[in-house]
Amino acid sequence: MESIKNVVFDLGGVLVPLDLNRCIAAFRHLGMDAVAEIINPCYPAEMLGRLEHGDITFHETCDAMRQLSNRPDITDEQIEWAYGEFLNPIPVKLLRQIETLRRRGIRTYVLSNNNPASMKFVEEMFRADGHEMEYYFDAVYLSYRMHELKPSEAIFRKMIDASGMIPEETLFIDDGLKNIETARSLGFAVYMPASGEDFGHLLESVADRE
């Protein structure tokens, strides 16, 4: 870890713990069983993939969900709540470890397949220790803003070009195997935490490398 100058984090499943079963239950509670059947964070359904790619709006996604479930009465706000049930609070300990990285001169970033509805919840979670999300990162790269999705090389190359980071000096942390494989092929150091793993020891090793 001596050469690491940057750390890039995924959000869901890495910084933000996920609860798939709770999300599925929330959609079933709304009577949207057909949507509950297609919820998958690793392989998003077509409508969710287009949302994360930035091709359609959240409202258009909600319309597709209402049509799929034959539930025209369900509001965008109710769907936003159900989708937000995916997300668990970010541990304050982890926020402070990222803060320590930055104090030690390590540049920190996010690269995430995400959507504007989920990001409303995520940004609120980052306030758990009294700071805005932007406090913790030099830049946040989100798929729906970049119109690219991991694991494509294109989204990584856009991040590299925008940040000026050198892959060989960058640790990429993601829970998706295909994303890890793309990052490794581009020269990044990589780490894939197991579900629910506390990988704070890794961040501490980067912060204490001197």
pLDDT (tens digit per residue) in 140-155: 999 999 999 999 999 9
Spell out where 78-126 has E strands.
107-112
Residues of the chain with pLDDT under 70: 1, 42-43, 209-210
d(CA 126, CA 12): 13
Considering 10, 19, 55, 161, which one is annotated as catalytic?
10
Question: What's residue 43's pLDDT?
Answer: 67
Residue 41 DSSP class:
S
Is 10 a known active-site residue? Answer: yes
Question: What's residue 44's pLDDT?
Answer: 73
C-alpha pair distances (Å), 130 with each of 101, 125, 136:
17, 10, 11
Question: What's residue 207's pLDDT?
Answer: 87
For 137, phi and psi rounded to 5 degrees? -140, 145
